[in-house]
Copies of this chain bind each other. A is one copy, B any other.
Amino acid sequence: MATIDDVAKAAGVSTSTVSYVLSGKRPISAPTRARVERAIEKLGYRPHAGARALASSRTNVIALMAPLRVGVNVPVIMQFVTGVVTRARDFDHDVLLLTQDDVSGLDRVTGGSMVDALVMMDIEADDPRVPLVAAAKQPTVLIGLPQDPEGLSCVDLDFEAAGRVAVRHLATSGHTDVALIGSPPEVLQRHTSYAERLMRGLRNQAKTSGVTVKVEACDSSPSGAATAVDTLLATAPDITGIIVHNEGALPHVLSRLAERGRVVGTDMSVVAVCPTDVALSQRIPMTSIDLPAEDIGKVAVDMVMTRLEGEHPSETRLLAPVLTERESSAHGPAAVVD
């Protein structure tokens, strides 16, 4: 492999000049620049990442810690990852992928200066990783909201607002008894904050709008979904609106409702909280509050980069929920029909 010295020699300039051509940190005259660039081209020169990292203390790599266990949210996770990776490339950075359970990896990549910054997904209310990365010298952005961010930046969908929007949508179209089919029990037990935030919004708005709301945890399996639907139908037969916040269970919930003779979009309104493409690939197009996973990933990277260049303070950004009406929701019993 050609080195920067080879390039310098070929272009008839000093090593540092080549470096400055590459980095743009000092003015270089047009002819010199041209000679250097031609030499680079001719030799097929690529700066050695390790040498660069050593000299500049910058790796141009960010770490992304993602929950890779197979399970529930796979497509959603994928979208986060896609957002992070593509946006990172816009900033000329690459992404080192860490698995959620590789907690020691945090130490490894930060302590070993393998990365310039971190993005961590799927943050729990009391996440043990937060203090770890808070102590690192690299800036970190959390996707999700821990109880105590310890000075780290956070980004997420505003689930509390999403809960409110969902209930308000159902309430204003005449539903008086609604339910939430939510995350699997283990997610709730982990105190993943988004589930709790959604419920808070839900309940507050229910009070405000004067509707009842019943909450049912739900396993993502077909049988889990069936159980949840059956329980709901049995214990709260007056329900005419369901909010589903569980991508995995969504198709099975719809199947079960059909099996139980409920026509979604007619005598049962369903609002999903999920990515748009998931909402659209159900048996009927779902009214949904978009979970803009890819965007959130991109915003996370934007925030990381901001912190990387200058001493900006940490911030928390909650993206406003957007509800799109499609065919799965309709007027409820109390609707004023004109």
Chain B: which residue is nearest A52 at the CB level? Answer: B50
A97 and B85 form a contact (CB under 8 A): yes
Chain B hits for A51, CB < 8 A: 50, 54
Given A54-B51, A281-B221: A82 touches B109 (CB 8 Å cut-off)? no
- The answer on a CB contact under 8 Å between B77 and A111 is no
- Contact assessment for A96 and B99 in the assembled complex, using a CB-CB cutoff below 8 Å: no
Pick from B46, B86, B89, B281: contact of A112, CB below 8 A.
Answer: B46
Choose, from A68-76, A121-129, A191-199, A308-316, the stretch at the interface: A68-76
List of B residues within 8 angstroms of A97 by Cβ = 64, 81, 85, 94-97
Q: Which residues of B contact A299 (CB under 8 A)?
A: none
The answer to whether A59 touches B50, judged by C-beta atoms less than 8 angstroms apart, is yes
Number of interface residues of A (CB under 8 A): 52
User: Is B109 within 8 A of A94, CB to CB?
Assistant: yes
* Shortest Cβ distance from residue A291 to the other chain B in the assembled complex, whole angstroms: 13
* Min distance, Cβ A42 to any Cβ of chain B, angstroms: 14
A98 to B89 Cα, complex, angstroms: 10
* Interface 0/1 of A275-287, CB less than 8 Å to B: 0010001110000
Q: Closest chain B residue to A83 by CB distance?
A: B68
Collect the chain B residues with CB atoms within 8 Å of residue A74's CB. Answer: 74-75, 78
| Selected contact of A75 from candidates B64, B70, B82, B222, CB within 8 Å | B70
Beyond A1-B111, A44-B111, 12 additional pairs, beta carbon < 8 A: A46-B112, A47-B112, A48-B54, A49-B114, A50-B54, A53-B53, A61-B96, A64-B97, A89-B102, A94-B97, A96-B97, A255-B283
* A interface residue numbers (CB < 8 A to B): 1, 44, 46-54, 59, 61, 64, 68-70, 74-75, 77-79, 81-82, 85-86, 89, 94-99, 102, 105, 107-109, 111-114, 137, 221-222, 251, 255, 277, 281-283, 294
